Structure 1
Amino acid sequence: MFNKNTLHFKLNLFILSIIFLIVTIGFFIAIAIFFSIYEEDVIENISTGISQFREVAIDHHKAELLSFTTGLVDQSDQLLLQKDTTTEQTLQKYIDYANTIGIEFVEINGSGAVAYKELVCDQSVLDLASQNTTINNTEPTLWVDGSAEIGLHLFCSYPIVDSNKNQIGTVLVGLPIANQTAVEYIKNTSALDATIFAGNKRIATTIMKNDVNQIGTTLDASVASTVLDQGQEYYGKSTILGEPYMVAYVPVFNSNNQPVGALFLGKSMLSIYTMRNHIVLLMSILGALLFFIFYSFSNHWLKKNVTHPIRWVADAMKTISENEYSIVENMPTAQNEEIDILQTTMLTMVAKLVAGQKKLETVAYIDSITGLPNRVFLYKKYNAVSHIKEQNALSVVYYLDVDNLKYINNLFGHRVGDGLLIQMGSVLKDLLRELPEYEIYRISGDEFAICKEGYYNRDAVTNLSKLILSVFEKAFIINEQSISTSVSIGISYNDSCNGTRCEICTEKCKDDLEMLLKKAELAMNRVKLNGKNDFMLFDPSMNEDIQRKASLEQDLKLAMKNKELELYYQPKFDLELNRYDGMEALVRWNHPVRGFIPPFEFIKIAEESNLIIELGTWILEKSCRFIMEYNRTHHSEYCVSVNVSTIQLLNENFEKTVLSILESTGLNPAYLELEITETVFMNSMDTAYEKLKFFKEKNINIALDDFGTGYSSLTYLKSLPITTVKLDKSFVDDITFNAISFGIVDNVIQIARSIGLIIVVEGVETNEQLQILKSLRCHKIQGYYFSKPVPEAELPLVLSQYH
């Protein structure tokens, strides 16, 4: 039995898997290419043959019918001038003699009456021919018409003129064009199945199933829609009577340019697909055989060249750990360069241990939590090294910040946060184990630095960043808690100016450690601004953006202090009561110098600087006080909705803050609605759930805002302690013409209603949207159709429009 935990087994399995994967992919690609070429060749043959089919089925009959009718005109002329038994007999002899093509009827009209009629088909065929209103009275006219009931026919209308070129009559002749002889001829000459359709029915075909000719069966509905309804040609794959085909369908049009039938050419692919499946099976068996053959070879090679030498080194290290160093005297000869390097490294280590040259790192230089070198060691190492020397110069700095560590500490405690840092440090260290030119440091609470010495490759720099981001996609298990986190990475690097800034570049223009760290931190902060969990290389423009952010943060503090912020209110309209029943409070900031600043910009700064707690408390208190006073003054019962950020909700004092505000303002909790987004549950489902449950028990309404824009699930609606669902504007924008959006809105509304939730649709801007939402029985709407957000002073005028 094999020990699956050995390096030997894992290397063996890895190599075999790669070989097997390459061979398998190669086989399948080759098979796919071959059959793709074959299918293209079949389509090309079908495309070429369809014109021949049209010529045989239609054009040839047109020539025959026109020739027959031309010869018929003289006799018809005589019949119109002298209608007697002799002329009729002469006409009948011509028809009998010349009719080798199966004429269905001959009708001669003159002076508005039928002078002669020979009918060997159903009267409906002649009636169909007589319905054509586009006949040219001066030239012969040929056209095709028919249906699934009476078949496909070719008609000819030929004018009869006297010696003065005046029309004295008309010859009308019909001929069936769908016959088995034509399709059999096409199959014999092209090796392709052929079919002539009248309407959607096969009236002549070479397709057989269970040795039965499939005349009378109908065309597939999806193909019929394209060919017969839309009048378009169809080339490609299709299933005919349960069998795969490569096909071409070409519509046949009548004189009104309407499809009345179709010509079909195709080739059954059943046998070739069966052969393909057999080849795939055989290739799979061959691949498995190669897998096992290669296993015995790789197993022997790995034992001799890799695993046995590594095992000796492992055993030697265990012996050395017990202070027994003599084992290195019997070191076997290395079989390859990597093992030789490993053995040499071990010898060097032993030599240092024996000579007492290797000293333990002082506690001052090691981070006590992660065991990684700390900021002190980083500065000590690189401040003592000239950054001009290329061999050991500091060239690249990665600045890593753990996203949301503060929230993790608040939610789970610092013990879990420290455990997360320990595991992250271990993962990063393992990641760089094969890259000795890189070193990792923990430089502050949630920040790490990775430094690279010597020459570097730009692509390698970005590839390592992507690799670091990828390893943190998997959650960490700490004290039986599953913790998901990510990192934001800023990167700075040294570039020689190559004489662009100096006449002769001495590389003294390169940045030292302090500058590289600062630039990398600026780049990392930009990643934070852009949404975290990404990396970015330093760009000089970042200095300006960081300064703008810092300035805006200071201005926001002053704005809150000087009461420059203002609340606007956007009403919500109850469709069932046909009146306004509440409003949403929205904060606005008109900066005295910068002008209007979008809420998403300063709200984000407030969250990152922790000002959101103070700002959110102010908005909540002012909104409650306003709606209480407004209801008292206007004898109304409006409800006010207030947006709550994730940071606010997860704050340990938030419940006390809300209850305190309700008590101080005297507002009934039923007139307050807290709007939260699903990101609350992405951060901490359990904590958020308990808090919302607490508010709901206090008779405070809870609205799930922006539903459908992120990871929203319909299961949220039945499991969360919410009272209202707010459907995002993006679903309403195209509801009047997009069936998918209409279906989503319809389903969400009906589901919400069925489980007793109030549904509010945002972003309604047109009457068409309003009427649709009314028909879907939506509870409430909000949008510019009724009112945009307005300041307090304008609100009474807006609300007075509906009572």
Structure 2
Amino acid sequence: MFKKNTLHSKINLFILGIILLIVTIGCFVAINIFFSIYENEMTRMVTTGITAFEEIIIQENKNWLLSFSDELADPENRLLIKNDPASIQAFHQYIGHANNDALEFVKVTYLDGNSYEKIFADQSIINLASQNTVSSTTKPYFWIDGNAQLGLHLFCRYPLIGSDQIPAGTLLIGLNLADQKRVDYMKNTAALEATVFAGNTRIATTIVKNNENQIGTTLDPAIADMVIDQKTTYTGKATVLGDPYLVAYSPVLNPRDEVVGVLFVGKSMVSIYTIRNRIILYIAILGFLLLLFFYIISNHWLRINITNPIRWVADAMKMISQGQYKVLENMPKAKYEEIEMLQTTMYDMVNELVTGKKNLETAAYIDSITGLPNRVSLYKKYQNSPFTDNSNTLTQVYYIDVDNLKYINNLFGHNVGDSLLRQVGWILKELISRYPHYEVYRISGDEFAICKNGSYDPDEIQHLPQSIIKEFEKSITIGEQIISASVSIGVSGNAYCDGKKCKICTKECQDSLEQLLKKAELAMNQVKMNGKNNFMIFNPSMNEIIQRKASLQQDLKQALKYKQLEIYYQPKFDLASNRYDGFEALVRWNHHERGFIPPLEFIRIAEESNLIIELGDWILEESCRFISNYNLTHQSSYSIAVNISTFQLLNDDFEEKVTKLLEKTGLDPSLLELEITETMLMNSMSIASEKLTFLRERNISIALDDFGTGYSSLTYLKVLPISTVKLDKSFIDDIATDKLSLKIVENVIQIAKNIGLKIVVEGVETIDQLEILKDLPCNKIQGYYFSKPVSELNLTEVLSEYP
């Protein structure tokens, strides 16, 4: 089975030993899993048991009292008729016949002051019942009261009604809840320990310890604090009188909302824990013995047959790397064929070692895609360079990010994206060849850095990024693709210091490499926020922008959590019916300290902080609920349009969320319109198309928002299940004065109509624009001419103009 005299065979034998250990460990794990399952089942039993115990102790006693009182107060029985000796005798006989250990007193009080009573308990119990003066003239009133001294009691105040249906008096009854028979019944039927506490003292219990019933002992302080002081139910593990239990405690409250007692159900875990610990101990001892045995055997074998030969090979390789090749002349004879193979290949490795070492060093510092120095190379050069070294002092950093590389990768594939990065690296390298002491690095992904050391001309700070941006105005050809690329650039710099300005150099005038990179990146991010394809020099105010952004991100989380955002609704006017027929839902945030936060600002923060899905889902749910309720209240059929983010649409369960929301709110799917943008579609056309088709098949409208501002709108109209086109405001602004704009709008409307789409024109602000659009004509109008977005409170007033 095994080939003799090989490491392979020896290691196979060693693995057999390891398997024995694994089996032992597996047994250990299996035992723990079994006992965990057992504990979970016992916890379920206890949780169910406390409910059953409450039913037995409280509800069944209530039912008994109610039945007893009904019979006692029944006019046909004539047991409570005043001044009737026969009835009084029957009254006492009935109580005496019904009396048991639990019934404590029966007291009848008539409205004229007369009373009858039968007492089986101390007068203090009646006094306790009399403290509660709450009464009902129509139905029985139950309550529980008591304490550690008096016990736990169930009282019933039963209104007496005469034959003329007029209140005649009150029947007051008391019942002792600490019924040992009922507690024993719980243990006999469910195999669970049960206890009734008055205050924190056991007054009826099945728990026996050291052959003594534990009536009179008190509740554990930690449990008492949770159940009695905090009035909460507790289920889980606890120590009961020194023993581990799985427990459930339920507080009992009096009418003053005070905890007067506790009901307990539990399962002792002493025996099962003892069995488990013994099994674990035996398995641990067995595992230790097996481990010790195999360790002694394997350690001796490994040292002789593997460790010593390989150690010699390792020592020899170390000496060879230091150029001491004579060690090969003293190579011992190999005992196993694997070691012999290792020795024979060592000669070949010696010849390639030096070359391989150089290649590894090169790979560590050079980017594999662009061939430019990488981030490691940048840090190696500048991180520890002295500030007063004229040739190596870092004075400028240009942080360059290739705009929209993600979209290019999605549209054309990562091979084209990598080719673009190579072209960008080549362009940057060609540019800096005109400037001395500059070097370009690829930092990561789509980010590059140009660094300058030594003195510089201040004009270069702006001239270089301008040259870079101008260079990227030219299209880049990659294979058959012609790509328009742009870059965003952030600039930071140090004041050049040759060490002569200060007698002692404090380095305070110099930023480190890390600081310069961070500042340049902040400036670059600001360019991105301002629209990309530009450059910006760092200034301290950018830190404030970043801080504001971080602060708003935290505030937005709180705003979502505490419902501090508000939905505004902008009506859409239908030209054919000359009335409003729907709204667009727009989220607004009035910050409690900062005031009104522009939607573009906080929505961008939501997208960058992964809050956009939660925000979008909230807007969609609130809008659907509002329009459904509004239509129901006003007997109307207004529709609602909701903007959907890329992250929402591409979420796996988006379609399911929408359909469930419509079911939940009762909104007709034909009254919901989801608005998407071209930017969203650029990211993932195939996935978006599949999801939109699913929704459109369920009669949900799909609108293409900001039409005409993207790259290929007509393509989307052809391949996507769009039902509505929203023409962007930028096309409408000057249609009254510019014939070209008017012609574009007219053609777009005609194209949309020809393929069966509805047209909604956004941004209508003047009567001239409205009259032109009526003549074209389009379907619907949206803009400040009719109404700006308004809150729910003001919506009805706006709609009254065109009902």
User: What's the TM-score, normalizing by structure 1?
Assistant: 0.49
TM-score w.r.t. the length of structure 2 is 0.49
